[in-house]
């Protein structure tokens, strides 16, 4: 995707000029065309300028997915401000903590969820668009794509969320990588209808949403569903759908599959990001949901790094793919020295799509995820074979040491997820009753036909002794970050709290013998 644009918002005005009546965004309030989208973004840019917001000002957006959210985001880009997506789903205290670190000039929040402090604070309710009445024209800043920036927060699944600074030029480089990996099923020539199922505060969904706008294709915002059946009905009703999912969403879809017909026969592309599905799950998706299935791996600091195309799964179901044409990817040891092919190490990447670094004040450049010497380290441990196929082993922060052997929870979770009646699985450590190394505990979300008595035998048949859980526990669902990832910190804390032994009762005073 070669682009002369210096501002990501320019894409809206470009498509408004050549295809003004093409649908841009559909939400539960209706559909706007690209012409209407451009007019609203231009008016909102004037509105933001009149509020006193300007170039380089940080603008916090704690909003759900809806058209007004997107208008404000692109308007902030338009005037050279820096939009920062903050999950609206977070409790007020957690939002306050993020706002206190990113120090925005202005914040836009949902009605009824109005937390956070800033010099300018706007509540976006059902009537917010009336504030644009009388605003017309445009307030585009003339700076180049190297100076225009946006900030994405990391998922927070393994620690406090950090802000990652991305220039518009870096994002457009990322869009070209998307085209290289997914262009056979999703591109400007074939945009389909992008179904937005998760809030764009999640970096993967933010990337796909922006790429669809760059394509000039329609975005259909899916409502927030409580029941999986409602979600499945909404997805299957769409033709030529391009659907980005998380492993949790894929598992929900798999749980609704029949034995004959594919669940999404008309899907243009089903794409799964986040931690990889197990090899068995990927094959079930291809067999029962759609043959147009992709798996992608990336991060907020890099955009897409690798991808697996439909034809690759038969031979490489255990892999997250080969690296895209643009980024340079290496697997290195703790000293930054590349390891031999097949060796285990830290994944790192560099290239024109890599972010500038962390937003000042949002977190330090330490820990598993970091920028160092021109390289970005997402914090993942992986292997890469001689042909460039990458297999993720887990997060550096999730490393388990047991009986002298190092391994990662996903190695055990993948074995459990191979069982069709296990819908989701997570492995955590708990303090051993007699001290020493932590015990491994598996927590599973049962699927149809669940066979709890078979779990231990299945693990014994497929795992060495040091990797076998000592106990298995059921959960209705797992706590999730706003991006849909399993929140391992909360899961472990909740489990330990529920299974902790009750405090010992103080002894009841009794008769005492007094020695003389």
Tell me which of 392, 417, 452 is where a domain ends.
392
Residue 188 within a domain:
yes
CATH number for the domain harbouring residue 103 = 3.40.50.12780
Residue 508 within a domain:
no
Residue 377 within a domain:
yes
List the chain pLDDT tens, one digit each, 516 residues: 556 799 999 999 999 999 999 999 999 999 999 999 999 999 999 999 999 999 999 999 999 999 999 999 999 999 999 999 999 988 888 888 899 989 999 999 998 876 778 999 999 999 999 999 999 999 999 999 999 999 999 876 556 778 999 999 999 999 999 999 999 999 999 999 999 998 999 999 999 999 999 999 999 999 876 556 777 788 888 889 999 998 888 888 888 887 778 999 889 999 999 777 888 899 999 999 999 999 999 999 999 999 999 999 999 999 999 987 778 999 999 899 999 999 999 999 999 999 999 998 766 676 778 999 999 999 999 999 999 999 998 887 777 777 767 688 888 998 999 898 999 999 988 877 665 677 899 999 998 899 989 999 999 999 988 899 999 999 999 988 776 778 888 888 888 888 875 554 544 444 333 332
Please give the pLDDT value at position 318: 92
The domain tally of the chain equals 2
Please give the pLDDT value at position 481: 77
DSSP state of 452: G
Do 348 and 423 lie in one domain? The reply is no
Please give the pLDDT value at position 3: 66
Q: Indicate the burial class of 378 (C-beta count within 10 angstroms; 0-12, 13-18, 19 or more).
A: buried
Tell me which of 348, 366, 392 is where a domain ends.
392
Please give the pLDDT value at position 514: 34
Q: How far apart are CA 92 and CA 96, in angstroms?
A: 6
Residue 445 within a domain:
yes
Residue 2 within a domain:
no
Q: How far apart are CA 275 and CA 424, in angstroms?
A: 12
Report residue 49 as tokens: 């300028």
Please give the pLDDT value at position 507: 47
Do 303 and 432 lie in one domain? The reply is no
Do 463 and 333 lie in one domain? The reply is no
Do 344 and 454 lie in one domain? The reply is no
Please give the pLDDT value at position 7: 98
Do 417 and 373 lie in one domain? The reply is no
Do 377 and 483 lie in one domain? The reply is no
Please give the pLDDT value at position 66: 97
Q: How far apart are CA 407 and CA 419, in angstroms?
A: 21
Evaluate whether 491 touches 479 at the Cβ level (below 8 Å): yes
Do 270 and 301 lie in one domain? The reply is yes
Q: Which domain holds residue 48?
A: 10-392
Do 385 and 429 lie in one domain? The reply is no
Tell me which of 362, 392, 422 is where a domain ends.
392
| Upper half-sphere CA count for residue 229 (Cβ side, 13 Å) | 0
Residue 300 within a domain:
yes
Q: How far apart are CA 169 and CA 73, in angstroms?
A: 17
CATH number for the domain harbouring residue 463 = 3.30.300.30
Residue 514 within a domain:
no
Sign of CA dihedral 483, 487, 488, 489: positive
Do 338 and 451 lie in one domain? The reply is no
Please give the pLDDT value at position 515: 33
| Sequence-distant (≥ 6) Cβ neighbours of residue 281 within 8 angstroms | 247, 250, 251, 254, 417, 418
Residue 502 within a domain:
no
Do 348 and 387 lie in one domain? The reply is yes
| Upper half-sphere CA count for residue 399 (Cβ side, 13 Å) | 14
Please give the pLDDT value at position 502: 53
Do 68 and 197 lie in one domain? The reply is yes
Do 140 and 209 lie in one domain? The reply is yes
């Amino acid at each position: 995707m070669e682009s002369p644009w210096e501002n990501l918002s320019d894409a809206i005005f470009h498509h408004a000029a050549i295809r003004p009546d093409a649908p841009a965004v559909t939400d539960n309030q209706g559909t706007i065309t690209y012409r209407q989208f451009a007019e609203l973004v231009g008016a909102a840019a004037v509105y933001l300028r009149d509020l006193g917001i300007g170039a380089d000002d940080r603008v916090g957006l704690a909003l759900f997915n809806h058209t007004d959210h997107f208008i404000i985001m692109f308007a902030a880009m338009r005037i050279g401000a820096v939009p920062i997506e903050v999950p609206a789903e977070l409790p007020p205290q957690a939002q306050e903590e993020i706002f206190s670190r990113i120090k925005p000039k202005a914040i836009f929040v949902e009605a009824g969820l109005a937390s956070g402090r800033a010099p300018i604070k706007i509540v976006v309710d059902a009537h917010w668009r009336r504030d644009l009445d009388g605003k017309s024209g445009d307030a585009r800043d003339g700076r180049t794509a190297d100076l225009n920036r946006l900030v994405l927060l990391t998922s927070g699944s393994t620690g406090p969320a950090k802000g990652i600074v991305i220039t518009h030029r870096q994002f457009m480089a990322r869009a070209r990588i998307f085209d290289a990996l997914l262009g056979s099923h999703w591109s400007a020539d074939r945009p389909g209808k992008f179904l937005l199922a998760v809030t764009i505060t999640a970096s993967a969904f933010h990337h796909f949403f922006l790429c669809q706008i760059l394509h000039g294709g329609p975005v259909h915002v899916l409502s927030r569903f409580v029941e999986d059946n409602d979600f499945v009905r909404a997805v299957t009703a769409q033709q030529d759908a391009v659907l980005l999912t998380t492993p949790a969403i894929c598992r929900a879809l798999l749980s609704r599959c029949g034995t004959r017909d594919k669940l999404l026969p008309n899907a243009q592309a089903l794409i799964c990001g986040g931690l990889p599905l197990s090899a068995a799950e990927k094959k079930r998706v291809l067999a029962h949901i759609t043959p147009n299935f992709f798996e992608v791996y990336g991060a907020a600091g890099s955009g897409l790094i690798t991808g697996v195309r439909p034809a690759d799964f038969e031979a490489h179901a255990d892999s997250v793919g080969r690296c895209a044409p643009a980024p340079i990817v290496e697997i290195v040891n703790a000293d930054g020295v590349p390891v031999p092919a097949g060796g285990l190490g830290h994944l790192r990447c560099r290239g024109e799509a890599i972010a500038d670094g962390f937003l000042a004040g949002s977190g330090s450049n330490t820990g598993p995820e970091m920028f160092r010497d021109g390289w970005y380290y997402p914090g993942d441990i992986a292997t890469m074979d001689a042909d460039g196929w990458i297999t993720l082993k887990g997060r550096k922060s999730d490393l388990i040491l047991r009986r002298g052997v190092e391994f990662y929870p996903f190695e055990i979770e993948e074995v459990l997820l191979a069982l069709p009646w296990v819908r989701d699985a997570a492995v955590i450590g708990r303090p051993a009753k007699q001290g020493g190394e932590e015990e491994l505990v598996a927590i599973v979300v049962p699927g149809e036909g669940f066979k709890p008595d078979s779990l231990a035998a299945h693990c014994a048949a497929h795992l060495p002794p040091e990797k076998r859980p000592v106990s298995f526990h059921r959960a209705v669902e797992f706590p999730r970050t706003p991006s849909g990832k399993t929140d391992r910190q909360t899961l472990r804390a909740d489990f330990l709290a529920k299974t902790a032994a009750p405090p010992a009762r103080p002894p009841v005073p009794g008769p005492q013998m007094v020695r003389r």
